Structure 1
Amino acid sequence: MAFQTPVTAEDILRAIHQKQYLLPAIQREFVWSPDQIRRLFDSLMRGYPIGSFLLWKVDAASATAYTFYDFLTDYHERDNPYANKATVPTGSGITAVLDGQQRLTALNIAIYGSHAEKRKHAWWNNPDAFPRKRLYLNLTQDAVENNDLGLRYDLRFLTEKEAAPEADSTDRWYRVGDVLTLENSGPAMYAELLRRKIGMENAEPYQRLYDLFRSVREQKPVNYYLEGTQDADKVLDIFVRVNSGGTTLSYSDLLLSMATNQWQHLDAREEVRKLVQELNSGGSRIFSFSKDVVLKTALMVAGVDLRFQVSNFTQTNMRKVESAWPDTRGALLRATAILNGFGFNERTLTAASVVVPIAYYLARRGLTDNYLTSGADAKDRLVLRQWITRSLMKRGIWGSGLDTLLSRIRDAIDEEDTPGFPGARIEKEMGALGKTLSFEATEIDDLLELKYGGQRTFAALALLYPGLDFAKQFHEDHIFPRARFTAKKLRDAGISPDAIDDYTARIDLLPNLQLLGGVANVEKQAKLPGDWLTSAFASEAEKTTYVSDNDLQDLPLGIEGFVEFFETRKTRMRERLSVILGVGA
């Protein structure tokens, strides 16, 4: 391993775009945040060391035996989160990056590319949820003192609109990638500042632009070692060792990397990537499953050890995983369709791991798409749904000891010789691990204190009132609308000041919540429940059925009877939950 002559950021990025440097398949995906990119670039502009890099010189004969990827330039969290597979011409060697991929990709995005991540609270399928942003430098002032990232330079990811100057004002935001177009660090910079209406009363704007120019095009902060061995085992050992720090290489990352080189007919990385995206956004689905869940399911379906440990990533096991991949893929797609049909999505599915045993059951029994809608399987789907919901409502089921739990569930499914989902047998195995699905009376009381938007609230309502068609979109809805419960509106409605706290303390709790279809929820808005019920149903019979099915008896016409209604419905819900969960039976 030899230390090489340092190079500029411009030089190494130019080489990356000329395909001289590629990423081996054992590399993880790009995981840095915009703030990490900003901090790295700030260090670069200050002249600080940005760490050494480790490269692997792969000769032409060895290059054909491995899979390589290009560097990511325009990151998009939903549409383009992964680097593309590279084409290596026959007879050509390449240089692969073993250590430093995250830093080099960060510099590439900062200078050549863009970053688009989902806006907070935006829906995954909203086309405007992922604004495309580039890295800009504020030429007129530095970052505020004592900022959270410790930045000296005011570097920000901005959209083109955010960076644009207002009419007749100073154009202060300079896209850092434009530094590559400056002809020199003298007159060209001066002309650029004049064009931007940035006065030269002091030298600070010029200095900032020069610091950017120097850091990218003159300084040589990229120090690297070059490994020339063609021994793949030695390279893998080096890779694991050098990736023990920074953003830690997870065992699932390593499994995916090793599978990529050990599968004979399929590309593991590409297959897992595509499946994750399809699970999360295919059809009407909106989930956030990770590759960890996919890989865990693949191990389970293949019948191998479920642990993410290096000793488990044998060639034999990887061949089994590849052989079972079509079954794994089909079962996971059906399992997510089932969860979607039960009304779950990324916000209401509180434990992603629950999809693993569902998929295994479908794969093990060879169940097809027909299972999703078949009337003959309706009873089995109900058993499955009740088990899923109860496991999500019970604390501690899908946390620690997951591998042991999944192994016992797999054994229970394998050993059951009667048709249908073996819920009782699975619950027995879970109970032996201290993960019982039996509920105590105190847990019923705890469930009745669940709040609007809470992790387990949707599951509790779905279990309480199962007669809904969850193929349609349902929302958690306040029976008595929250908008009516401000102190002023309560006083105006004749509620005594001494009773206001009794009202506001109950508004977001389970007994004031129901599941309501999306359209109906919009139509209801801030109507009192009595008014809404009168207008929402075409006949008195439909209204009566809805009231009975949802424990809405004795619903008061006005808000003054809210507390009494709340307590009465809470009692009915406690009785219903006790029966469903077998408490006191």
Structure 2
Amino acid sequence: MKISTALDYIDNQELALPEFQRGYVWNRSQVRSLMQSLYRNDPVGTLLIWTTEADAEQMRGTDKGSGRVRLLLDGQQRITSLYGIVNGHAPPFFQGNAKSFTNLHFNVDTEIFEFYGPVKMQDDPTWVSVTRIFNDDIDVVVDDIHGGEIDRARGFTHMKRLNDIQSILNRDIHVDDITGKDRTIDEVVEIFNRINSGGTKLSAGDLTLARICADWPQARENLMQIKSGWSKHGYEFTLDWLLRCVTAVGTNQAKFPGLCDLETDEFVSALGATEKHVDFLLNLVGSRLGLDHDRVLGGRGAFAALCWHVNQSGGYIGDHAEQQRILYWYLHCMMWGRYSGSVESMLQRDLDAFEADGIDGAIEELRKWRGDLTVRSSDFDWSTKGARFYPVLYMLSRTRGSRDLCSGFELKQDLLGKGSDLHVHHIFPKALLYKNGFDRKDVNALANMCFLTAECNLKISDRPPTDYMEESAEHQPGALESQWITTDRDLWETDRFHDFLTDRRERLTKAINDLLDGLYAGHEHFDEEVGTGSSIAIEAPIEDDVSEDVASLLELVIEHELRAPFVDDEVPNPETGEPIATAALNWPDGLQPGLTEPVAYMPSVDGETASALSAAGYRFFTKSEPLVWYLEDLLGIDIDGDQVVGDPDEGHAP
């Protein structure tokens, strides 16, 4: 297929650019490299197209009679870039940063491609807009370069080079076409991932969404609007997650391809119902368990089955006893990582259990899988804030009357004032423990963490427990016990730190088992009703001390209004859910969610971890400078003040 033909197909709506979750992610450096390769006649890869059936009434495209649509699976970044360069604007339904491919210029003397920089190019006619080259008469362009006084030999050279660029449109790119009515979503995904083994993996969710968009072009926009609504309340969900919930509600199936069997109006109805059911569940989990913001909302895989159950119950569950058993089931899913492995098989088992015997059937299925649903003190033997029991600690602090060690106030959602946000506090200060030879695992043990108001956390700072705990015990009686902290002064000594951890784990274990028993029996009492409207998340930023380079990167993120990253966050294997590594900064949905690939900042990465991160679709950085250059390319601006956008060795003037 000629490049010009592919671009014409896009304009004629005969070729669809599937709006995969990551959108357009190329930066200017990659666009320049593509044009340089095409100009030199170097290989630029092949295209993979899936020709599939579509709803003839709903399909966008010219071939409505046959109900076919061509979906460009592999080559989206290249074709999108070329469309933008040739036409000077993004293709229809574009999602991404158009600055990545607009204003590309070519120097007719040096044969170099660079993006427009006024300092370098404004008064130099040898820099010519590539978009103009593709659309104007070459004779006119050459005449403008030479100002009417053309040196014959030089003019001939320039004309040949400009013609070489124009001829790129006539270049053939090999196309592998997947055809046949019997091709399933899973088969096409397997073909794509086999061909594209070194690149970003395509998921069944990606392809299902692309297929739905062929019938209903507004599908992705509607999904993104729903996601955005939750984002405004502090919850970040992936499109895969939302599609999984819609699949459960609309088909009672775990696998995505079932969505493609729905008529467009059926999908629209299932999507609307799913949004309402998720709102209900977020309110239920937030108001009853205190898991009211993204950082502590674990067990998300369980929402799909719960959405189906709520849908079958008429969209609302008002019975308090059933609400509590739902929370009991959800907490066990979260604590034991029920959905950290094979999501589809677990979800189908849960959907079948809910259909057979409601929440009681789901609990019984959980018991068969787990065996024992009792929490033991060893389960709290985790370190770092990525542990599954970290949300449990937060939940207990919010729901069991935990009090601030300084003010004595309960850590509830109605705390007011600038210093009332909840912060993580290391009970035994890090510096004190490191000084006395304790390792990182002990220092960051979950049992060494509690939640305090920001004001109290700052006031205590790095004072030893023997100091500030004595003060708290005197001025705020009962506050230590409310945080499951012993009043045995001997265990406040640094040399008894391991004994302190053992004691606190036992206290936390009793607290969570008491809560679970109460939920199962329906005996828990709550202060407020659960609503069915939009979810309301109480902001409780969780902060900790960070290194200087991490602090600087966080400042840049805030300054340029990018998505805030998770700090010291585990990066999971997308297939197994098991952690690959802990990132100093993690953007699992990209710096611009839905538009860019996942990004991680990890100062120390070995070869095995690097391979695993790449396979998971991550772009990762081990030094802060390249991450800043990546931000520059992403935003199209100079951040570090070196008068170059991106890598100084490859960059260009802003």
Aligned alpha-carbon RMSD (Å): 5.8
Per-residue CA deviations over 1:215-238 (Å, capped at 9, x if unaligned) read: 4565632447899xxx9959999x
1:132-147 → structure 2 map (5 Å cutoff)? 133-135=99-101
Distance, in Å, in 2 between the alignment partners of 1:550 and 1:137 is 59
Distance, in Å, in 1 between the alignment partners of 2:18 and 2:313 is 34
Q: Which residue of 2 aligns with 1:502?
A: 438
Q: 1:316/1:446 Cα in 2 relative to 1: closer, same or farther (>3 Å)?
A: closer
Distance, in Å, in 1 between the alignment partners of 2:158 and 2:463 is 60
Distance, in Å, in 1 between the alignment partners of 2:211 and 2:239 is 14
Q: Which residue of 2 aligns with 1:573?
A: 505
Q: Which residue of 2 aligns with 1:391?
A: 333
* Counterpart among 387, 393, 400 of residue 341 in structure 2: 400
Verify: 1:302 aligned to 2:250, yes or no.
yes
Q: Is the 8 A contact 1:551 1:569 kept in 2?
A: no
Deviation at 1:40, TM superposition (A): 3.8
Q: Which residue of 1 aligns with 2:59?
A: 67
Q: Which residue of 1 aligns with 2:41?
A: 47
Q: Is the 8 A contact 1:389 1:459 kept in 2?
A: no
Distance, in Å, in 1 between the alignment partners of 2:470 and 2:83 is 61
Structure 2, unmatched stretches of 5+, are 148-153, 400-410, 518-654
Deviation at 1:429, TM superposition (A): 0.6
Q: Which residue of 1 aligns with 2:403?
A: none
Per-residue CA deviations over 1:271-325 (Å, capped at 9, x if unaligned) read: 464234423543643334233323332332235433345xx56746887655544
Q: Which residue of 1 aligns with 2:373?
A: 438
Q: Is the 8 A contact 1:53 1:223 kept in 2?
A: yes
Deviation at 1:510, TM superposition (A): 1.3
Q: Which residue of 1 aligns with 2:222?
A: 274
Distance, in Å, in 2 between the alignment partners of 1:534 and 1:45 is 74
Q: 1:180/1:431 Cα in 2 relative to 1: closer, same or farther (>3 Å)?
A: same
Output the amino acid matched with 2:79. Answer: L
**Structure 1 range deviating more: 564-573 or 172-181:** 172-181
Verify: 1:410 aligned to 2:327, yes or no.
no
Distance, in Å, in 2 between the alignment partners of 1:560 and 1:478 is 15
Q: Which residue of 1 aligns with 2:479?
A: 546
Residue aligned with 2:291, SS = coil
Q: Which residue of 1 aligns with 2:280?
A: 334
Q: Which residue of 2 aligns with 1:124?
A: none
Residue aligned with 2:424, SS = strand
Deviation at 1:514, TM superposition (A): 1.6
Distance, in Å, in 2 between the alignment partners of 1:214 and 1:208 is 10
Output the amino acid matched with 1:46. Answer: R
1:347-358 → structure 2 map (5 Å cutoff)? 347-358=295-306
Distance, in Å, in 2 between the alignment partners of 1:209 and 1:568 is 80
Verify: 1:104 aligned to 2:104, yes or no.
no
Q: 1:138/1:566 Cα in 2 relative to 1: closer, same or farther (>3 Å)?
A: farther
Distance, in Å, in 2 between the alignment partners of 1:471 and 1:110 is 53
Which structure ranks higher in relative contact order (CA pairs < 8 Å, sequence separation ≥ 6)? 2
Residue aligned with 1:465, SS = helix
Q: 1:220/1:546 Cα in 2 relative to 1: closer, same or farther (>3 Å)?
A: farther
Q: Which residue of 1 aligns with 2:648?
A: none
Output the amino acid matched with 1:409. Answer: D
Q: 1:97/1:404 Cα in 2 relative to 1: closer, same or farther (>3 Å)?
A: closer
Distance, in Å, in 2 between the alignment partners of 1:400 and 1:447 is 21
Deviation at 1:251, TM superposition (A): 3.1
Q: Is the 8 A contact 1:22 1:95 kept in 2?
A: yes
* Counterpart among 425, 437, 441 of residue 478 in structure 1: 425
Distance, in Å, in 1 between the alignment partners of 2:486 and 2:366 is 38
Distance, in Å, in 2 between the alignment partners of 1:400 and 1:477 is 29
1:196-215 → structure 2 map (5 Å cutoff)? 214-215=164-165
* Counterpart among 450, 458, 464 of residue 383 in structure 2: 450
Verify: 1:33 aligned to 2:25, yes or no.
yes
1:168-207 → structure 2 map (5 Å cutoff)? 184=138
Verify: 1:221 aligned to 2:196, yes or no.
no
Q: Is the 8 A contact 2:375 2:512 kept in 1?
A: no
Q: 1:234/1:274 Cα in 2 relative to 1: closer, same or farther (>3 Å)?
A: same
Per-residue CA deviations over 1:69-104 (Å, capped at 9, x if unaligned) read: 8xxxxxxxxxxxxxxxxxx7999x999665666031
Output the amino acid matched with 2:446. Answer: L
* Counterpart among 247, 252, 267 of residue 205 in structure 2: 252
Output the amino acid matched with 2:355. Answer: D
Residue aligned with 2:339, SS = coil
Per-residue CA deviations over 1:198-219 (Å, capped at 9, x if unaligned) read: xxxxx9xxx9999798445656
Distance, in Å, in 2 between the alignment partners of 1:471 and 1:347 is 19
Distance, in Å, in 2 between the alignment partners of 1:470 and 1:21 is 51
Q: With structure 2 as the length reference, what TM-score do the two structures score?
A: 0.54
Output the amino acid matched with 1:526. Answer: S
Residue aligned with 2:277, SS = helix
Deviation at 1:34, TM superposition (A): 1.8
Q: 1:252/1:189 Cα in 2 relative to 1: closer, same or farther (>3 Å)?
A: same
Q: Which residue of 1 aligns with 2:618?
A: none
Residue aligned with 1:366, SS = coil
Deviation at 1:503, TM superposition (A): 7.5
Distance, in Å, in 1 between the alignment partners of 2:468 and 2:136 is 66
Per-residue CA deviations over 1:47-67 (Å, capped at 9, x if unaligned) read: 224356588999xxx997342
Distance, in Å, in 1 between the alignment partners of 2:221 and 2:128 is 35
Q: With structure 1 as the length reference, what TM-score do the two structures score?
A: 0.59
Q: 1:183/1:208 Cα in 2 relative to 1: closer, same or farther (>3 Å)?
A: closer
- Percentage of pairs with the same residue: 15
Q: 1:386/1:426 Cα in 2 relative to 1: closer, same or farther (>3 Å)?
A: same
Distance, in Å, in 2 between the alignment partners of 1:456 and 1:437 is 17
Per-residue CA deviations over 1:228-251 (Å, capped at 9, x if unaligned) read: xxx9959999x9598574466543
1:281-300 → structure 2 map (5 Å cutoff)? 281-282=229-230, 284-300=232-248
Deviation at 1:344, TM superposition (A): 5.3
Q: 1:510/1:56 Cα in 2 relative to 1: closer, same or farther (>3 Å)?
A: closer
Instruction: Give the count of matched residue pairs.
Output: 469
Deviation at 1:398, TM superposition (A): 0.6
Output the amino acid matched with 1:438. Answer: L
Distance, in Å, in 2 between the alignment partners of 1:578 and 1:430 is 21
Q: 1:100/1:293 Cα in 2 relative to 1: closer, same or farther (>3 Å)?
A: closer
Q: 1:114/1:555 Cα in 2 relative to 1: closer, same or farther (>3 Å)?
A: farther
Residue aligned with 1:501, SS = coil
